Amino acid sequence: MKLREILLLSATLSLMVYCSYTNVQHQRDLEYMTRDLNNTMLIVQQQQKKIDDLTLENKTLRKELDSIVAIGDCKITHYCTDPNCKICGGGGKTASGTQVREGVVAVDPKVIPLGSTVYIDGKQYVAEDTGGWIKGNKVDIVVAGGHQEALSRGTYYREVYIKKKEVN
Residue 11: how many other CB atoms lie within 10 Å = 17
Residues of the chain with pLDDT under 70: 1-4, 6-9, 11, 13, 15-26, 86, 89-91, 165-168
- Does the pTM surpass 0.85? The reply is no
**CB of 117 closer than 8 Å to CB of 162:** yes
Residue 116's φ and ψ, nearest 5 degrees, are: -70, 150
Question: Would you state the pLDDT for residue 76?
Answer: 96
Question: Would you state the pLDDT for residue 138?
Answer: 96
Q: Kindly list the distances between the CA atom of residue 53 and the CA atoms of 4, 34, 43, 47, 81, in Å, as whole numbers in the listed order.
A: 17, 28, 15, 10, 43
The secondary structure element, H or E, covering residue 124 is strand 123-129
Residue of 107, 127, 106 whose CA lies nearest to 117 = 127
Please calculate the CA angle 76-78-159 and round it to the nearest 5 degrees. 20
Residues 82-105: pLDDT tens digits? Answer: 777 767 766 678 889 998 899 999
